[in-house]
Amino acid sequence: MPAPTPGADRLMFDLIVIVRVPDPADAEPVADALRRMRPLCLAEDGCVGWEAYRSDADPARFVLVERWASRAHWEAHGEGAAIQEIYLPEILPRVEREVHPSTPLSGVPGTTGTPATETPATGKSTAMNTRPRIAVVGGRPVPVHGARELGIDVTLVHTEGQFDRAEAEPHCARILTCDITDTGALLELLGPLHEAEPFDRILTTTELSAVPVGEVNEKLGLPGTPPEVSRIIQDKALTRQALDRHGLSPVRHRRVHTADEAAAFLAEVGDRVVLKPGQGAGSLHINVVADPADAARAFREIEEFGYGGVLAEEYLEGPVVSVEAFSHQGRHVVLGVSEYRVNEHFVEWECSVPSDAARPGLAELHELTAGVLDAVGLTDGPSHSEFVLTPPGPRLLETHNRLSGAGIPEMVHRATGWDPARLFLTVPLGVDRLPEAAPEPKQGAAIRPGQSSEKATTNYQHSGDERQRDRAGDTAESPGGLRAAPWFNP
């Protein structure tokens, strides 16, 4: 979609089109064409609502009711498949029409009513705000990019010194700081703002803020992921127990409290086991152990780390992939599947989308992802789930109710055209709709974390069962000094 032109209306754009079919014989073909237009329109960027109505009194009269995130989005709609492939050739030659850009008399949020004039520094308003209004707690600024163009007022709440204020300011109505892991601090900050001018949503894509934001939403009566669901997702043992109850992704596991218990689990499983913190992310303190002495060392190390106790699991052999999904009202859609290369500490140093390794069992992986999210109780928002593709089938490593790091959302966007970071902001407000099915990748993308995204992220053509890549030499080095397969050029 082209960028909005300077000075274009940045608020919701409502349109009513009155259609009359002069020849009764054309009424049914027009009705059929309008039915086929609807899903195409709703899938377009910035389409908040699109519906065609047929008069009961006069079957040759139709009314189209459209809502777009901005006039620029509606203008871009004219280049889309719905207009170019259906409306222009099949409908327009058969009809007479009146087009009415319109303003709701109710002045409900998101309409083209009087906008609030605010400054990032003060957040002061010179008029009643009629735009959708949300608070975003923590995270990188990327999910709030473009919020103003979508007519969304964002209050960003973050920890001082933990974000790039200069990057965030152009996209936010106000920026506030506090301890974003403290429910009381968040409630003290956001409660009065919500009372004065209610938020439509309070969202987070920061793991440490998931439970506090859930508690704040409960206290303020706002929708969102319940804190108990976030607790289950963050506690890896509780995640395993939820999967066991649903008969999903069988992995032997046990929460161990002493080094002797860790050694006993190793003896039961045999071969190798994994000892890791019961909570956390980023592959911190993950240990593969093969003998009692190694198990004792790993247990002490994790205990000193002190993050959620010690969880013992059987070692899973196979390629590691991650599934980026988005959920809305209990419907889960996989947006992309990426493939990792990891070093000896299980830290990802190279990642590509889509995954070649996952392709043969992609349907099973999609089904398991939905089952995992149902089992832990997640119904809305982004999720990042990591799996090992073992010979018996995919097995979950862990899942998170947040956007992935390591540039994966941007790679999914490049590969499929669907941007998880944008959906985080727009789907809860009804600005964007999820695709009806998992989108097919149109190209590939790859990244090597630890470098700037401009240098590390690249695209390559993806067609059928083969990826077309340009090779860049024989070998490349990872940030940790490991040798790897050639890097990919655009």
Element holding 313 (H helix, E strand): strand 310-314
Predicted local distance difference test score (pLDDT) of residue 381: 96
Fold for domain 133-224? Rossmann fold (3.40.50)
Nearest in space to 378 (alpha carbons), one of 325, 338, 340, 417: 325
Contact 486/475 with Cβ under 8 angstroms? yes
CATH-assigned architecture of domain 320-489: 2-Layer Sandwich (3.30)
- Helix, strand or coil, per DSSP, at residue 295: helix
Query: What's the rounded Cα separation, in Å, for the pair 193 and 213?
Result: 15
What pLDDT score was predicted for residue 16? 94
Closest by CA to 380, choosing from 217, 226, 194, is: 226
Would you list the DSSP string of 193-251?
HHHHS--SEEEE--GGGHHHHHHHHHHHT--S--HHHHHHHHSHHHHHHHHHHTT-S--
Report the predicted TM-score, pTM, of the whole model to 2 decimal places.
Answer: 0.68
Instruction: Note the pLDDT of residue 323.
Output: 97
Q: What's the rounded Cα separation, in Å, for the pair 442 and 18?
A: 37
Contacts 24+ apart (CB under 8 A), 346-349: 346/283, 346/286, 347/282, 347/283, 347/480, 348/283, 348/320, 348/406, 348/449, 349/448, 349/449, 349/450, 349/478, 349/479, 349/480, 349/482, 349/484
CATH number of 252-314: 3.30.1490.20
Whether the Cβ atoms of residue 428 and residue 213 lie closer than 8 Å to each other = no
Residues in the chain where the model's pLDDT stays below 50? 1-10, 107-129, 451-457, 462-490
Alpha helices in 221-351 (DSSP H): 227-234, 236-245, 259-269, 292-305
Instruction: Locate 464 and state its tokens.
Output: 């059928």
Contact in structure between 282 and 293 (CB atoms under 8 Å): no
Indicate the domain borders of the chain.
13-102, 133-224, 252-314, 320-489
**CATH entry, 13-102, from 3.40.50.2300, 3.30.70.100, 3.40.50.620, 3.40.80.10:** 3.30.70.100
Query: Can you give the pLDDT at residue 344?
Result: 61
Nearest to 359 by CA among 386, 321, 331, 391: 321
